Amino acid sequence: MSRLAATIVIFAGFFLIGKLFILWGILLPNIATELAMSEIVSGALFSLFSVGMMLGAVLGGKYASRFEFMPLLASLFSINTLLLLMVSMLSSWQWFLVLAVFIGVVSSTIFTIGHTLIARMYAEKRFTMMGLMDFMFSLGTFAASFFVTLLYLIEENWRLPIQVLAGVMLVLSCYAFVAARSQAKVLKGQSKAPKQTLAFGVIIKQPVFMFLALLSFGYGAVEFGNANWFVSYAQNGIGFTGEQSRNLLACFTAGMVISRLTFAFLLRFVSVHRMMLLMASASLAGVFAVKLIPSLYGIGAGNLLLGLGLGGLFPLALSAAMNIDSDNGPVLSGIAIIGNSTGVQVSSFSTGLWANFVPLSTAFWVIPVGGCLLWLATYGYSRKIKQQIQA
């Protein structure tokens, strides 16, 4: 497989998926108004998207290795394009919930394949390339706020950003198909490694990977709990304007971008297990600052610190796991995504449910609680990683 073509597809795909993930939270106030969605329905949207992510992680982790990765990626991007175009034509929220599940399944499978391919192709510099790959995801989340603001200058219509994103994803799908066909011609007549179905049970029973799942749960609860609800919290709960709220969220995504771009360099001076604990501590401080300092600069600084802590934590944790058992890369990625998606589901839905009875400014406390869980899980995982290194 051509490393360059596969890397371009994966990095560009992660950028677009990152933008897609954050769009739901950014566009939620407009979508909820037009489609008459209550807080409970809004929370259900994020939860069902997470259910789809969990299903995609199971299917991708177990069965993706039975297929050629590049043609499969091309097909998945095409399917996501179609699903997004369908979302942009909706006039009621009921079908939105159904489509959210399928978009989650497809996006999660793309994640699983991307993590596996990069880890295998760049085994000699796995931490760096995994960090750069997730950096592209964070760059997409960072660009999303400005992407929406720019398109709203043309027309303040929540459907437009989704349609433009679908168009770009279609272009990437075409490139992936062309790259896959070229690769097939080069490899024609060569013997192929046998395809196999992988098993989750044996892997998840190991304590180190159980802590990986718990860390991923806390990570999803904090990252996407904040991403999904922050704009609504800042706009409806505190009283900032829509543009101010989106710019404050951009502080969070900017921190994510910076962290994922620089954490591999910092590993020259700090061990892996210590770096994870430092990042979890920064995340905890940042998420409490967002809640307890309700001023423009206080929330901006808190979001930046939260992003700096969270950004490198996921690729660092997953890379450390793949260093232990790279042959089961799809399963490890699947475990991480399942934990992440479960955290998103619990955090997003419980925030929406609680906000149906109390002000959103109170319900937002779910996110700092998730930060506490993340720190505890990271502490346990870092200890296991240290033991693995010393063994």
pLDDT at 372 over 80: yes
Confidence bin at 188 (pLDDT 50/70/90): very low
**Residues 6 or more apart in contact with residue 150 via CB below 8 angstroms:** none
Say how far apart CA 328 and CA 321 lie, in whole Å.
Answer: 10
Confidence bin at 94 (pLDDT 50/70/90): confident
> Which one, of 282, 259, 256, lies nearest residue 378 by Cα?
282
* Percent of the chain's residues with pLDDT above 90: 29
pLDDT at 370 over 90: yes
Mean pLDDT along residues 332-358: 83
Confidence bin at 326 (pLDDT 50/70/90): low
Confidence bin at 189 (pLDDT 50/70/90): very low
Say how far apart CA 212 and CA 218 lie, in whole Å.
Answer: 10
**186 vs 143, higher pLDDT:** 143
pLDDT of residue 365: 93
Q: Tokens in use for 173? A: 């799908």
> Which one, of 169, 118, 142, 104, lies nearest residue 319 by Cα?
118
**Residues 6 or more apart in contact with residue 179 via CB below 8 angstroms:** 2, 5, 6, 8, 9, 70
pLDDT at 193 over 60: no
pLDDT at 15 over 80: yes
pLDDT at 287 over 90: yes
pLDDT at 81 over 70: yes
pLDDT of residue 277: 94
Mean pLDDT along residues 153-160: 90
Q: Which residues of 362-378 are buried (b: 16+ CB within 10 A; e: fewer)?
A: ebbebbbbbbebbbebb
Say how far apart CA 350 and CA 330 lie, in whole Å.
Answer: 30
**Residues 6 or more apart in contact with residue 74 via CB below 8 angstroms:** 9, 173, 174, 176, 177, 180
Question: Chain-wide mean pLDDT for the chain?
Answer: 84
Mean pLDDT along residues 47-62: 77
Confidence bin at 191 (pLDDT 50/70/90): very low
Whole-prediction pTM value? 0.74
- Alpha-helical (H) ranges within the chain are 3-35, 39-63, 69-87, 93-121, 126-154, 159-186, 201-204, 207-232, 242-266, 272-292, 296-311, 313-324, 329-355, 360-363, 366-390
Q: Do 134 and 15 touch, CB atoms closer than 8 A?
A: no
Confidence bin at 28 (pLDDT 50/70/90): confident
pLDDT at 134 over 60: yes
**83 vs 254, higher pLDDT:** 83
How long, in residues, is the chain?
A: 391
pLDDT at 270 over 80: yes
**222 vs 265, higher pLDDT:** 222
Give the pLDDT confidence of 210-233 residue by residue, as tens digits: 899 999 999 999 988 898 788 888
